[in-house]
Structures are given as structure tokens and as C-alpha cells.
Structure 1
Amino acid sequence: METSLLELSPHGIIICRNPEHKPLAPFAESDAAGLVALAGNKLDSGTDASALYWRDFGNLFLKALCHIPEGEAVEVPPPSAAELAEWVLNAPPMKGAEYLSPEVLSYLWKRMEQWTRERQSESGLPDFLEKHAPLWSRVGRVTLHLAENKGDPEFPFAFMATYSSGLSKAGRVQQLPLGKALKEYAGANNKPALLKLLSPIHAAAKTNPLLADLVETGDVFHPLVWLPEEAYEFLQGIPAYEEAGLLARLPNWWKKKTRRPQVAVTLGEKKKGGLGINALIDFRLEVVVDGQRLTRAEIDELLAGEDGLVLLRGQWVEVDREKLQQALAHWEALEQHGGVSFAEGMRLLAGAPANLKAEEELEEHREWAFTQPGEWLAETLDQLRDPERLAPPETLNAKLRPYQVDGLNWLWLCANAGLGACLADDMGLGKTIQVLAALLRKKADCPGSKPALLVVPASLIGNWKREAAKFAPSLNLFIAHRSEGGDLDKPELSADLVITTYGMLNRLGWPTETEWSWAILDEAQAIKNHSTRQSRAVRALKAEARIALTGTPIENRLGDLWALFDFLNPGLLGSASQFTAFTKAIQSGNHEHYAPLRRLVNPYILRRLKTDKSIISDLPEKTEMTVFCGLNPPQAKLYKQSVQSMLNELKETDGIQKKGLVLTYLMRFKQICNHPDQLTGAGEYDPRHSAKFQRLEELCSEIESRGEKVLVFTQFKEITEPLADCLAGVFGRQGLVLHGGTLVKKRQELVEQFQREDGPPFFVLSIKAGGTGLNLTAASHVVHFDRWWNPAIENQATDRAFRIGQKKNVLVHKFVTSGTLEEKIDRLLAEKQHTADQILEGGAEKALTEMSNEELLALVSLDLGKAESDL
């Protein structure tokens, strides 16, 4: 299991799971303390990409902090929204990256500011840095200034070094020429202060010839006028000055980096045929400065002139003839081909090389050339971000929420354009119903089209059948699975939708030979390992459009991302070797730039989170979902044996003995549905022998990937530990267990552990011991592993998570074993028939003991077709 040293929680809090790394220990206090320490101390050799990313963000804060003049209040304005958006795009794959947003970063910045203000108010900034960020404590109060000297065309630039000498009577910091420091600190007593003030200058001079010359000649202490080449040499050294701890005040046009000639490439000005991953799009070349197009004569003049600062149209422009010429030559060579493929164009717009080759210098490439969409392509991309709002199909038996209508229209647009689409909505937001609505629209708008293929894990066949019957009964389904019977070798494909499993796809030849309208994958993380048989079989499917559904963040692991996109949009991310080379280029150097990759894949991923303000307001506070599980062969065998055994014993008993017998067998059926070992006492609890355990693993794997927490309720004390052992393997760390044997005084301690942001990820509770009196709002998921058959008791347990103060939408997953006693009672409860009323009033056990033998047999007998269809 891949882990990150640092991860982001759904609430936007940075959590450290490895405090043994020395610089990370302060995260135990708060994430603000951790970020300052991370940026202000030397890192261990084992630091990963997540820690490097957050270190750089902390560096940004400390750099801004050190620019505050001494004596002024700690007020550090956060970066602009555009800059924060770029930080989001450049985040590396790490746990919780999907929760990252400009708003989260801004709030984190404010927490650092508040934490810093509280700790430096008494001791001052220098002592604060010395204690909490020693790498930054050497930062001095010397500022290097460069400005335009517009009154002197021969020496058009002016330089001066200043230092902060103290506060004026008005409370403002006084900046004085550095030469005056020699007088202020004259005398032996002030020599240490002068040395401290000048030490950053001497440090920078060791690596910068210009500054070394200024120090040696003493010119650094006097105002100077400079030629353009001197000013340019100074500007080139800015990174070295700031690294040494000096401050710099520069012209705005230099800081914006727009005053340089850049090759502007416009892609897709006009439509050239259909859209699709292999479509050809045109492009146009220009050279611009600050958005203004240059004439050919101006370009030739720049290329024939000198490097450095050049006065062009009354403004100073940075020129590097070699880089400009290389950029022009690169694009002119591509222009000879008359266009680029859609995949190449999307790579270029994302800031990646068209061929994804590693040897390209990505950052340098972006500085001297950029791409932009033309009119037609810009309109197309805008449609992907904001599809036309069409009404849901009339044949859909449901009212879609606004965000679900958006999802339907996005799927429809991508499918018609021949672009792969990944619907990555959070669990519980209704991915299934959005796909069913899209299939209904296809049936209505494209009569006679080829059937669509849906590939699912075996455990979800029953779920899709039920959802289709409920919401899209007009869809004609064909289930290509052994549990449904029929001729799977030569099926009649007159259906609107063919459903099969990843396992059956490997056994059947015809799915990969058939031309499908759409190929749809549910739980698409099943193909994350591209070398497996089922992954290869999926990628071999022939379809006009490809759709993937997943609740697991797909951008958090690079290998998973490539495997999925090799199905969705083959070629967009290149071959496996090309993608590996490209990601190595991204990860090279001190800073990692993931923005090109994120920009490249984002148009084809639609992800909405329950934490989004636009979504949460549209959701019920509590969403209940019935999770249907099958019976694995050991369970089915034991269940059938128990039914026959009960029937034999019922013939020999009556009265009070019959009631006791029925209660005993009811308990046995529940235990078998949970796991055969619970009845036999074998004690191994291998998840492969229980469909419920396997479904719990699948469900919690998605919960774990999102950094969320879950409560798991059972009515059996003896199964709490096996459940906890199973979940520890899924989450990669231990959780908590509470049952009737847990000491009362320990219960509150367990609750407090679970409620912490960095606390255990799961809590297994017996429904009797944990169903009331506990406040567990840290959980956003509740699982009822086995049913109490009394809605009131189940709701009490659910309300441990869903309580006053809970700000999340809580998902409640009620496990029901298909084709068994559990499903039949669940149906009675849902339909609220007479028998259900009896169960509600007197409890299921009492009602069932009073049934006749025939009624009991009908209730507990196994519907093997249903049970196996969910395997």
C-alpha cells in the first residue's frame, strides 16, 4: 500500500502519520507548526514528494514573513487566487490531494499567520526564526533596489542597497542607504551587529560575481547608475540574493515575466472534421510581448541584436536570442506537418511536450513559448467544462438533483464527441443513476444504435439490476453471467445494455470481438494494474465511447492514472514507457511541476465531493443505501444444509420448543450470512469465504482512499475482532473496537481517540454497547454489517455519527445478503406490509416464531439464483 508522509484530511487539515521524521514532529501540535518547521529545518533523506510539496508552501510563507520590516505587525497576505490555483495543479500524488483547493491553501496560510503571530509577539521575529525555522534565521534586513532611471537615457537604471534602521516617530520603518550602517554601527560594541547585517551580502557574493565586485570595491554602500547590461546581470542573480537572505525590490514588469518575446501557439482556430482523440487540429504561430504581436521585422531585429534588456516600443524587454530561436525552430518544424493530433494538442495546452519526451525542459519551455486554444477549440473545451443543460429523459423514473443533471449532460457530450469520460463522483452521489439516465437518452435519441457494454465487479451485478429495474425499466438488459443462465457462447445481443463482470470478460471471447456503442466500467480501479489479464481484456474492447466510474481518487497514484486513461483515451498519456519518462521529467529537480499532467487529464474527469458547498446543500443530511451481497460457495452450502436441518427438526417440535428452535436457527442464518466461521467456530475468518467481508473490504478501500472514517456495527460481540482485523488490512493501521466487555471508563477514551483528526480510521461496535450515548461525528460512513431487523435500534446506532454538530453528509450502508432471509425481511420492512408492522411492533424474532412451518420455510429458503448473481 502506497502511503504519503503527509496527507490532507477531508477537512483540509494536514496530517502526519510518521512523526519519527524529525522535522515532521511539530505536526503533532498543529499543521501550521508543522509547516513552519518543515520549511525551516533540514529535511531527512527519506522525505517524499508530499513533504517536499508542503515544504515549498511553507517556504513561500516564510519568505513573505521575512519581507515584513522589523518592528511591524505580522500580517502576511496570502498569494493571489491564481497563484494558489497553480499550487493546487502542481500538487504531487498524495493522500487527500483531491481535497486541495485555493480556499484550503488560503485557510492554511491564515493558520500559519495566526500561529506565527502568537509566538513571535513577545520575542520578535529574529528569535522566532531562530527557534522555529533556523534555516531562515540568517535572513537580514538588507534590501537591494533596482529601478528605472528615466531621466538618463545613457544610464537608464539605478541601484541602491538599504537597511532597516528602526522606526520613525510615526511608527514606520526607516530604510536608509547601506553606507549609513557603517556610521551607525561604528565602534567595537556594535561590530557584531554590523557583521550580522552584512553576512547575507557576503554569503551571496560567494556565488555571484557582480555582488562580489560591488563588495570588493565598496560600491554596494553607495547609490549607482547602471547600463542595461549591468541591470540585467543583477536581475539574473535574484535567486542567489534571496537564497542568501537578502530582500529585493524590482520593477513590476520583471516580476511578472511578461516582458519577454514569447512564441504564441494558437491551436484549433477552425474545426477540421470531427472531434476525438485522434482528430487533427490546426495551429498558428506568432511572437508576442506582453500580449502584443510583433512584426516580422521586429522579430528579426531582436534575433540579430544583443541578449539582455532591450528597449522595444518604449518598454524594456528581456531577450535571450538562443532560447527564442530554439522555440521558433521547434514550432516551425511542427507547423510543417499542417497540424497536430487532438492528443498532441491537449498535451501542448497542458504545458507538456507534444511527444511527452523526458529530455524537454518543461519549465524553460513554458517561459519562452506558450499555447492557447483557438476559437473553435476554446468553445469545445468550454462545453466540456459547462455542457449544455438538457432535460433528463422522460423515461427515467427519478428526479435528478442539479449536479446529477450536469453529470448526465457531461457524459452525453463526451460520448457524442468520442472522448473518454471518467465519472469520479464521491460515494453516494449517484454515479449509477447518472449512467442509467445517459443510456436512456441514447435509447431515445439514437434508436437502433449498438448495445452498450457494462463491466462490473461480480458483487455489483445485483445492484445494477435493481437500480435499472427501479429507475430505467424501459432498458432491455442482458446479463452475461453464469448465474443468469442462457447461452453465453453465442448470445442474442438485442439488448440496450449488456452487463458482465471483469472475471467473465476473460472467459468469454465475444465481448472483445463485438462493436459496442459505449464501453462502461464500474469500480474502474479494478484495471489499475495494466499488466493483469482483466485490464488487457478491458483495453481490447471496441467502442465508440468509453466511460469509467470510480469513487477512488485516480490522480493520487501515477500508475493507476495511466492504466485508466489507456482505456479511456488511448494515446493521450502516451505509452507506458513514454508516460514514465514524462513523469520522471516532472519529478526532476528541487521543485516538482505536476500542473501539466493535471491540466492534461482534468477535462476528462468529473469529480464532485460531498464536501463541496455546491453539492452538500443539495444533499440530504443522511443518505441510506442498501448494499446487496451474495453468498460465497462455503456460505451457500452451509445455508442450504441449515434450511434442511431446520425443516427436519420442525416436524418433530411444537409449542415452546418450536419457538426456541426457530430463534436458534434465525441466529444461525445470520451468522452464516456474516461468515461461515462464525457458526462453525473455526476462527480463521478468511474474507474469501464471505461475500460480506469481501464487500466490506471493497467499500472501505474507497473510504480509505479518501481519508474518511467509518463506524461498523454488528449485533455479535464475537465478530467484532475479526472485522477489526480485516479492516486493519484495508486501512493499513489499527482501528478501535467497543462491545459489552469494554470497560465503561475506557469508552470515553476510545471516543476521544476516534474523534481526533489524526485518530484511528475505523471503529467496530456491537450495536447494543455502542448504539446509544456516544458522540462519533468524525465518521462520515456508517455500516450495518448485519441487520437488527428493528429500524428504531438501527437508527439509534446511525445517530452516533449523524448528530447535532455533524457538518457532513453521512452515508449509511446497510448490508443485506441476496436470496436469503435477510433480503426477504428487508423487503418486508421496505414495503411496510402487515408482516413488517408485526416485526416493528414486537420484534422480528417474536413474529417469526409464530409463523407456520410453511411460512417459515418460504422465508428462510435460499434463492440460489439471486445469491449467486451477486458473487
Structure 2
Amino acid sequence: MFLTDTIHLAPKITPAGHLLAVPEVEAAPLPDDIELGGIFQAGAGHGLLYLGSTTLGRALPPAWGWWRDFAVRYITALCSTAEDEDMAVAEPGTADLEQLIGDAPPMTGAEYLTPAVLTTLWGEIDAALRQELAGTTGSLQAFLKSRHPTWNLVGRVHFNLAENRKDPDAPFAFLATYTARVSAHGKTQHQPLSRALEEFSGARNKARLLSLLVPVQRAAECCDWVRAMLESREIYHPLRWTPADAWHLLNDLPALEPAGIIVRLPGTWATGRPARPTVTASVGTKPPSLVGKDALLDFNMAVSLDGEPLSPAEIRSLLKGADGLQWIRGRWIEVDTKKLGRLLQRFEDLERAAQSGLPLNDALRLLAGVSADDADASGERDWAQVVAGGWLSETLEQLRRPEGLTRVDPGADLKAQLRPYQMAGVQWLYLLSRLGLGACLADDMGLGKTMQVLSLLVVLKRERTDQRPSLLVAPASLLANWAAEAQRFAPGLRVLVAHPSVTPADELRALDDARLARTDLVVTSFGALLRLPALEPVQWRLAIVDEAQAIKNPAAKQTRQVKKIQAHARIALTGTPVENRLSDLWSIFDFTHPGLLGSAKDFAGLNRRLAKAGHFGPLRALVRPYILRRLKTDKQVIADLPEKTELKAWCHLSSLQAALYQRAVKELATALDGADGIERKGLVLSYLMRFKQICNHPSQWLGDAAWKPEASGKFARLRELVEVIAAKQEKLLVFTQFRETTEPLAAFLGSMFGREGLVLHGGTPVGKRRELVKRFQEDELTPFFVLSLKAGGAGLNLTAASHVIHFDRWWNPAVENQATDRAFRIGQRRNVLVHKFVCRGTVEERIDQLIETKQQLVNDVLERGAELLLTEMSDRELLDLVRLDIHSAQEN
């Protein structure tokens, strides 16, 4: 197993929309007496029913608390239905579910939460309730009561408050009622609580009466005024109430509802409570004179009631009055003089401090309701409101809906046709870069982040308003891909790859302003950035970080160096859901939007407060305009994608691999001297096999059984890909032509996914293969399948996978395509990404180039096999094919 002692159960939503309870490293622990593992094995409905019915009042980790709240909604709805065979429980509306999703805490798979998923889970809770209820001999009331005393369905007691404006001394009326029955039309019929004394009179009905009054007795334990009414028996009669009496009820709503009391307030109170005077601030009404994070926005404040400003005299009158209900403008309003006075003071201080303008980051935090230094802000959210003024509101709306932005077209300079969602991405990146703000483009792998960035660079070059070059930092394994994509799709961009594998070291040392002035884009690696001090003082047009999860560790040297880059705007590219990992989110935003989320210490404190309150909506609102994430499963995207996308995964050699490869080249040159005929063909074939083995891993050639991941460039590239695939909970096929490679690959992948996968090779019994395929297809928790190409390359249906990796190349496109088609075939509902591993500077890269250029060799390869043809090359041709380009092969 690959689990550690710090693992606890955490909720996880799969791409198929299923809710699971799975072990996760560093997950927050549940209380010892709450055991979810076994219950969730029976199904998500049973797990949620347990959460919602039995764990009320218990402290749970934020993610589990959120799911409990969802389940409580179901049980609350259940309690308002009649106890009969139908028990039809109304589903929540889409708007309610979307609001609930918007406030969900970070959890694995949160990006797959949709109203449809929650509606399905609602149905699963309902099915679980009916199944568990059928296994008991008691009533629904007894079943729920056995779970938690709050759930009492023998009548529901209501406390009803109404206005009575004809009585100036007691302008409110109170009446306690209970739900006597449900009509044939589904309407509840209420009776005064006094009628219960009559209806349930007699010894036979005494138990029902006592059960009915349990919520009232519970309420009396925590509310003195309820206890007094119960003891005096006034609770059974209509009562005249003063504003102070009504205020007591309003203040005790948080205690009454958990006790089982339903409170009904005057229908004229549109929001369910009396209106409150609100301190309202508006930021960003006018465009700022500067753009970017240093922009200063206008700030204006007022005190209003339902959007109408209150006069200074009215404000003074409210502050002088008592806490509670006050009469103003012909209606009752709710006033907390201390909160109102404190908020007025705070906003007046802000207004004075912002006379010359409010910094953009401060304005955005206020707008989202996130304050790093104000622990009480959440308790005052209902008494204060910050709204975006005209300019800021329009800008944020454009960022949230990039498809509606003004079209920016790279034109003929881009040698490709952008898909609609890609065009929206370019428009979004363009707006943010023009404003001098950062961006996190977090599209799924395979949706074309590279193409969108290249398109943006083409647009910026055509404008000619800012001729500074841009800098792109990526893992060394991706530099060749960026250079190739730029040459293919944006040949007009002048690209400099600032890395020893491409540019000689003396040229890199000589980089100066004159050389950079002749460049549009500098591409470098994280490691090279540390060794090229000439890049640090440059004022770049854009600073772009690919695979931005590489800077998730703020203490790492490469992260600190990346954050020193000076640029007009910064862009992070990542395929992982950064919103689900708050520590990653902070570090990436510390690069793209320095200061927006405060310091690491401030952010940690903010997270604790949000987790305690169970309210992550403000944080999500703060970062949402600057994260653009599209999924391959989105209906707007999936119809626009090719069904299969093939990508080159460039790999470097480790030092040990390079040394072994170079030695093999020298030994081959010596061995070829004087060899001919069958002997020479056998010699060449054996060395070609050795080169492939060395490129895979030194241990495959040495036979030392070590298989250390750090010894192989292909394992390093595999790690980069799998980090993203695992975070997305997508399934993976890995093909290799070597049986001996399957088990080490499976062990490495198991450590990455945190769970075991499957292996199939020539030694796998034929009868077991069908069982393995079925498990991979049906078990969502089986993440990968490693197959030898000969054993698994044909005849299998593995459409559960959306990624295919060719760890080593067969050098025959037909054979590779046949293996790929294990996933890409009839029944596949996902878009398939095919990753072909190629070691730079080796025979693998040169064979790949020959295939790509469609030279005559390819036809021969298809018909006769590459190895057979290569044996017929001359010594010079052969040695040129297998020679090692050390600068390209190694990550310096």
C-alpha cells in the first residue's frame, strides 16, 4: 500500500458524479465515534443519510460539514411531508443548488459538482431512507428520533409572529400552533397548540402529546421567555407582544429551529426578517488613472435601507435608540446599535484613507467579503455591503464571462483556427494583460493552453504598443514542445530558447538588452532561470509560468526565483484544479496577483476562519474572475473537441542514462568494425534494444532491480503528467513493449495515485484478462492499467481511460494506433489524450522525426519493421542515427 499513518477519510466526487469516502493524505480527522467508511460502502445515499440524521451539532471537517448540510436539507424537507407510503420529498431548485455549490469548501473533485449531481444524490438519500425504513418495524418518526432527538415528526410546533398595527402598545401578536395533519392537496393544516390538549386527551394519546411538546420543552431549556410561557401556560393562548418580546424571538431563532420549532414571521418581512440598515460602500465607479495591481479606485459610502439612503438625522436617531426593533419610514426594522456604529466608523476610516484612491487588492477583498485582518467580518456580513461601481462591475463581469468579450483576432499570423472556447480564452487573457492583472488559465490538459498563449502573444505583437519581450518558464521537458508549437503555429514570433540544450552557453551568458530587443518570447526552464541572472532585472511584457503547480511550494528556491520576475502582467498555466488545494492556490496567486490573498500567514488565518464558519463563498468570489477553467466534460467544450489528440511528451536523460547511452554508442562503433552479414544484423538489433532500455530506465539495461524514479528522465516526465491526471481522477493506460518494465511502472504509478492499479503482460493467464478488464472498466477507484504492447495492444475494450501513454515507442505507427484504440473505440464517451514519450537527443527523437516527415523510411517501417530496416544502414548512417546530442538530452 502507498498510504501513510496520517490518512483519514475525505469526501471525493468522481468525474462520473459519484460521491465516495476515500482515504486521503493529511485529510482532517473525523470524531472518533463517527465511522463513515463502512456506511459509504453501502452507497452515498446511506452515507449522507447517516451524516444528516445523526451528526447534528458535531464538529466536522469543512467538506464533511458541507455534505451534512446538504443531507440535512433533505431530512428537513422530509419532515414537512405526511407520513404515508408516498412521502414525496420535494427536490431543491437549481438556483438553490447552484448557491450551495458556490459555497462548497475545497475537496477532491469539487469541479464535478453540478446541480444535476446533487439532484441525483438527493434521490440516493431518498432511496436509502426508504430502504433503511423498510428494515425497521417502527414509524418514520421513531426512525428519525432514534438517529437524533431533533427529528420529531409527530406534529410540528410553529411559533407564529404577526404585526398588529391597530394596537400601539402591543404592535405584535404571538400564537403557538401545531401541524395537525396534511390535506389531500398536500397543504399542512395548523391548529392552535391549545387544541392539542383536547385532541390528545386521555391516557391512550398521552404519549403523542408528550412527543408533540418535546420541541417546546427543548426550546424552554435554552430560552427563558419560552420557559416562562410554558410554566404559565400562556403558550396555549394568543398573546399581545411588545417590540421587545418580538426581539427576543428573533434573537433566539438559532436556538428555536434546532430544537424542532418552526418559526413563521410576518409576511411583510420579505427576507424572512425585518429589514436592516446597511452600511453600503461603492468601489470603482470610475475607471482608475492607472491599471494593474497598483490601480487606485474611488470609494464612496452611505447608510441605506433596502437600497434607499438614510438621512444623517435618521442615522443619528437609530444610533440613539435601543437595540432591537425600531419604527422608521412606516415599518419595523432591526437595529444593532453597536454593530451599526462600529461599521460606520470602519467605513468612514476607509473613506478617509481612500481619499486618493483605494488599492485594487483592498477593493477586491472588500468586495468579496474577505478580510485577512478582520476576524469578525463574517458576523457583520448582513449589516454591511460593498458593491462594485460601474467600471469595476463591468470589468469583473467581462472576466467572469469571457465568451462575451470583444473579439481579438490574431489573424493570418496564427497558422491555426481557434475553437470558440479557445477564442474566449484569448479574449480573457488579453483583457487581463491589458489591465496589467494576473491570470490563471487552468483548462484541462489537452484543451490548448499553449495555443491560447501563442495567440495572445501574436495579438500583442500586432498591436505594436509595447515591444518588450515576454518570458515563459516551463519544465525543461516542455521547452522543445513550446519551441515546436511556436514555429508551427506562430512562425512570426521571434523565439529564443534560453537553455543549454538549444542555445550555446556562451550565447546565454552574453544575453543583453540588444539581443532581447530582437526577441518576442524567451523560453526557459525553472532550473535555467536560477542560472541566468541576466533575466532577473528585465522588465518583461508578460511573465508566463507553464505547469504552475511547480511553484506550489513557496519555500522552494525555484518558486522564490520565479516570483522575482518583473512583468507588466503574469500568467500561470496549470491543468490541475487549484481551487481545491488552498495552499497551492495561495502560492500561485502570490505569483499572478501578489498581495491579493495577503501573506501566507494571513491566508492561513483566513482559511481557519472560513473553515470554522463553513463559508468558502467569499474566497471563491475573490479569485473567480482570475481563474479560467474549462473541462473536457463541459457540454460547451466537448462538442468542439477532436475525439483523439496526440501529444509528444519530450523527456531528458538523467546523468546515468546519458553516460550509459554514450558508452553504448562507442561500443557499437567498435563492434561494427569488421562485422557483416547475419552477425552485423544481430549486433545492430541488440544495440537498438539496449538504447531503448537505457532510455526507459538504467535498471532495465543494468538488471540491478533498483528502478529509482530519479534515475530516469521518462519517470520524471511520467510524474509530471500523472500529477495532473490523478488530480483530475482520470484513468490512464500505459503501454510498454517490455514485460520487465510493467511492474516497476505499476509500482511508481501506485505511489503517485495513492492506490494500486492493474498490470497485464504475456504472463497474465488468459482467463484473468477478462476479470482485469472488467475491474478497470467498472471500478472508479482503479486508476491505471499498465500493459505490454503485445499482450494488451489488441482485442481489449478499455474505454474507461481518457489518457494513453506510450512509455516506449514501437517505431511502428500502426502498432501504436492499434494500442491506442483500446481506449479510443466505440463506446468511448471521453476525449482521449495520447502521450508519446520521446527522449531528446537520442535515437528515439531521430526515429520520431523520420516518422513525422513521412520519408520513405516510414513506408518501410510500416511494412517491414524499423529494426529490420535499420540493420541495412551503413555504419556512418547508423552511428549518426544513434549518436547522443548531450545538450539536448540532458536537463541542465
Query: Normalised by the shorter chain, which TM-score bucket?
Result: over 0.9
Distance 1:224 1:584 in 2: 44
Task: Find the partner of 2:369 among 337, 341, 351.
Answer: 351
Equivalent pair of 1:38/1:55 in contact (CA under 8 Å): yes
Match of 1:94 among 107, 110, 113: 107
**Residues 106-156 of structure 1: CA deviation (Å, up to 9, x unaligned):** 44334434544565579753255357x446544552231424345633344
How many Å separate the matches in 2 of 1:754 and 1:743? 17
Say if 1:673 and 1:324 are closer, same or farther in 2 by CA, change over 3 A. Answer: same
**1:730 maps to 2:752:** yes
Instruction: From the superposition, tell whether residues 256 and 812 of structure 1 become closer, same or farther in structure 2 (CA, over 3 Å).
Output: farther
Q: Does 1:837 align with 2:837?
A: no
- Secondary structure at the aligned position of 1:838 is classed as helix
> Cα RMSD between the aligned structures?
2.6
Change (3 A) 1:97 1:171: closer
Comparing 114-123 with 482-491, greater Cα deviation is found at: 114-123
Is the counterpart of residue 431 in structure 1 residue 455 in structure 2?
no
Which residue is equivalent to 1:822?
844
- AA of the residue aligned to 1:189: R
Contact map agreement 2:150 2:258 (CA 8 A) in 1: no
1:416 and 1:173 map into 2 onto residues whose CA distance is: 59
What is the TM-score normalised by the length of structure 2? 0.92
Asked if 1:530 corresponds to 2:554, the answer is yes
Per the alignment, do residues 14 and 703 of structure 1 end up closer, same or farther by CA in structure 2, a change over 3 Å counting?
same
Equivalent residue, structure 2, for 1:617: 639
Is this contact kept in 2: 1:384–1:410, CA < 8 A?
yes
Separation of aligned partners in 1, 2:311 and 2:181: 51
Asked if 1:148 is matched to 2:162, the reply is: yes
Q: Give 2:28's aligned residue.
A: none
Q: Does the CA-based 8 Å contact 2:163-2:266 persist in structure 1?
A: no
Structure 1, residues 500-541: CA drift from partner, whole Å, max 9, x if none?
Answer: 221122222222122212111111111111122211111111
Distance 1:464 1:839, change over 3 A: same
After superposition, the Cα gap between the structure-2 partners of 1:170 and 1:467, relative to the gap in structure 1 and judged at 3 Å, is closer
Query: Measured at CA, do residues 808 and 315 of structure 1 come closer, stay the same or move farther in structure 2, by a change above 3 Å?
Result: farther
> Which residues in structure 2 correspond to 1:254-293 (within 5 Å)?
255-257=271-273, 259-293=275-309
Structure 1 pair 614/272, CA: closer, same or farther in 2 (3 Å)? same
SS in 2 for 1:286: strand
Match of 1:488 in 2: 508
Unaligned runs of 5+ in 1: none
Name the aligned partner's letter for residue 208 of structure 1: C
Alignment partner, residue 422 of structure 1: 440
When residues 178 and 426 of structure 1 are mapped into structure 2, their CA distance, relative to the original with a 3 A threshold, is same
Is 1:312 matched with 2:328? yes
Of the three residues 721, 728, 731, the one matched with 1:706 is 728
1:717 correspondence with 2:739: yes
The one-letter code of the counterpart of 1:489 is R
Which one of 382, 404, 414 corresponds to residue 422 of structure 2?
Answer: 404
The structural deviation recorded for 1:72 is 7.7
Correspondence for 1:811 = 833
The Cα shift of 1:184 comes to 2.5
User: Is the partner of 2:733 in helix, strand or coil?
Assistant: strand
The DSSP-based 3-state class of the residue aligned with 1:488 is helix
Show the counterpart of 2:793. 771
Matches within 5 A, 1:130-529: 133-134=147-148, 136-138=150-152, 140-150=154-164, 152-154=166-168, 155-166=170-181, 173-252=188-267, 253=269, 255-257=271-273, 259-337=275-353, 338=355, 339-353=357-371, 356-359=372-375, 361-385=376-400, 386=402, 387-446=405-464, 449-483=467-501, 484-485=503-504, 486-491=506-511, 492-493=515-516, 494-529=518-553
Alpha-carbon shift at residue 674 of structure 1 (Å): 0.6
- Residue 519 of structure 1 contacts residue 546 of structure 1 at CA under 8 Å; is this kept in 2? yes
How far apart are residue 358 of structure 1 and its match? 4.2
Contact 1:358 1:581 survives alignment (8 Å): no
Q: Structure 1 136/721 Cα, relative in aligned 2: closer, same or farther at 3 Å? A: farther
Question: What letter is aligned with 1:17?
Answer: V
Amino acid paired to 2:361? A
Counterpart contact for 2:274–2:332, Cα < 8 Å: no
1:415/1:545 contact within 8 Å kept: yes
> What secondary structure is seen at the aligned counterpart in 2 of 1:737?
strand
Task: In structure 2, list runs of 5 or more residues that go unmatched.
Answer: 25-31
Greater mean alpha carbon deviation, residues 141-150 or residues 502-511:
141-150
1:261 positional shift = 1.1
* SS of residue paired to 2:381: helix
Matched to 2:531, the amino acid is R
- The whole-number CA distance in structure 2 between the counterparts of 1:838 and 1:193 is 89
How many Å separate the matches in 2 of 1:796 and 1:153?
86
Shift of 1:15: 1.5
Tell me the distance in 1 between the aligned counterparts of 2:364 and 2:464: 29
Q: Distance in 1 between matches of 2:58 and 2:180?
A: 40
Aligned residue pairs, count: 864
Post-superposition CA distance 1:408-463 (Å, at most 9, x none)? 11111111111011111111111111111111122211266111111111111111
Shift of 1:291: 2.6
The answer to which of 142-151 and 32-41 deviates more is: 142-151
Tell me how far apart the structure 2 counterparts of residues 7 and 793 of structure 1 sit (CA, whole Å): 37
> Any conservation in 2 of the 1:392–1:405 contact (CA below 8 Å)?
no
Distance in 2 separating the partners of 1:788 and 1:46: 56
2:569 maps to which residue? 545
- Over 3 Å counting, the alpha-carbon distance change for 1:611 and 1:764 in structure 2 is same
Please report how far the alpha carbon of residue 346 of structure 1 lies from its aligned counterpart in structure 2 after TM superposition: 0.2
**CA distance, structure 2, for counterparts of residue 801 and residue 315 of structure 1:** 67
**Structure 1 counterpart of 2:607:** 583
CA–CA separation in structure 2 for the residues paired with 1:755 and 1:135: 43
Alpha carbons 1:5, 1:16 under 8 Å: kept: yes
CA displacement at 1:783 relative to structure 2: 0.9
Q: Aligned partners of 1:172 and 1:264: how far apart in 2?
A: 40
The whole-number CA distance in structure 1 between the counterparts of 2:600 and 2:820 is: 45
- For the residue of structure 2 that corresponds to 1:206, the secondary structure is helix
Quote how far apart the aligned CAs of 1:777 are: 2.5
What SS class does the counterpart of residue 598 from structure 1 fall into? helix
Given that 2:369 and 2:381 are in contact with CA atoms closer than 8 Å, whether structure 1 keeps it comes out as: yes
Q: What is the SS of the residue equivalent to 2:508?
A: coil
1:12 aligned partner, one-letter code: G
Percentage identity across paired residues of the two chains:
48
Amino acid at match of 2:190: Q
Following the alignment from structure 2 to structure 1, what is the Cα–Cα distance between the partners of residues 868 and 43?
A: 53
Distance 1:704 1:206, change over 3 A: same
